[in-house]
Amino acid sequence: MGGADAEQQRHRRLGEGHHDEDATPVEAVDAATRKLIDDMVESMYAADGIGLAAVQIGAPQRIIVMDLDQREGKRNPRHFINPVITWRSEELAIFEEGCLSVPEIWEEVERAAKIKAEYLDREGKRHEFEAEGLLATCLQHEIDHLNGVLFIDHISKLKRAMVMKKFTKAAKKGVSPALAKDKEPSHHIG
């Protein structure tokens, strides 16, 4: 997909569909799967993200891409087809999370500090691995997307209500939440 197409295929925001649906497992890893992965990586970079789930660009399949090195301006894209978390530590970790589908909102979210997961690669080969730190957080965030869950579902009801109010107002005005006249002074809620 070229740059202009990637822009058209931009990630969908809260209220633009597919965010509350379960994504479908990939039955056969084929050329179309590999093309979708490449498109997702391009969309992730175009949006300055460190992760992206296929549902965020309107493809309800269980595929995620990630590049934690993107934070340092380097490129080391990874992909995970049909990712499944097989173990979560009891120990929890708190990270400040953002989401391309809920732009300009950053909130602290508590998740398992370590996880074990398995997935298929672009050749259909199964892998198992253990993750911690931002990789564990980002994987949980992206797998949540595949299950119709957003990071704001992990914050307090009050903060979530404020996020939703901000989005509804901005949507009515047809502008990004950050451009809404009465936007909060900070990206944080509460």
Which residues are known to be catalytic?
A: 142
**CA dist 68 → 51, 136, 166 (Å):** 8, 11, 29
The answer to the question of residue 83 lying near ligand K1U (CB under 6 A) is no
> Which residue lies nearer to ligand K1U by CB, 29 or 53?
53
The answer to the question of residue 98 lying near ligand K1U (CB under 6 A) is yes
126 token code pair: 């199964």
183 token code pair: 């936007």
The answer to the question of residue 117 lying near ligand K1U (CB under 6 A) is no
Q: What is the distance between the alpha carbons of residues 181 and 33, in angstroms, rounded to a whole number?
A: 42
What are the DSSP calls for 123-147, one per residue?
TS-EEEEEEEHHHHHHHHHHHHHHT
3-state secondary structure of 13: coil
Using the rule CB under 6 A, which residue among 6, 29, 50, 65 binds ligand K1U? Answer: 50
Please tell me what DSSP assigns to residue 61. Answer: B
3-state secondary structure of 64: strand
Q: Are 55 and 16 in contact (CB under 8 A)?
A: no
Q: What is the distance between the alpha carbons of residues 128 and 119, in angstroms, rounded to a whole number?
A: 7
The answer to the question of residue 6 lying near Zn ion (CB under 5 A) is no
CB of 99 to Zn ion, least distance (A): 3
The answer to the question of residue 52 lying near ligand K1U (CB under 6 A) is yes
The answer to the question of residue 148 lying near ligand K1U (CB under 6 A) is no
Binding to ligand K1U (CB under 6 A) within 29-48 occurs at 48
166 binds, among ligand K1U, Zn ion, none (CB under 5 to 8 A by kind): none
CB of 122 to Zn ion, least distance (A): 22
The answer to the question of residue 14 lying near Zn ion (CB under 5 A) is no
Total residues at interface with Zn ion (CB under 5 A): 1
81 token code pair: 């087809």
The answer to the question of residue 99 lying near Zn ion (CB under 5 A) is yes
The answer to the question of residue 64 lying near Zn ion (CB under 5 A) is no
CB of 28 to ligand K1U, least distance (A): 25
The residues of the shown chain that bind Zn ion, judged by CB under 5 A, are 99
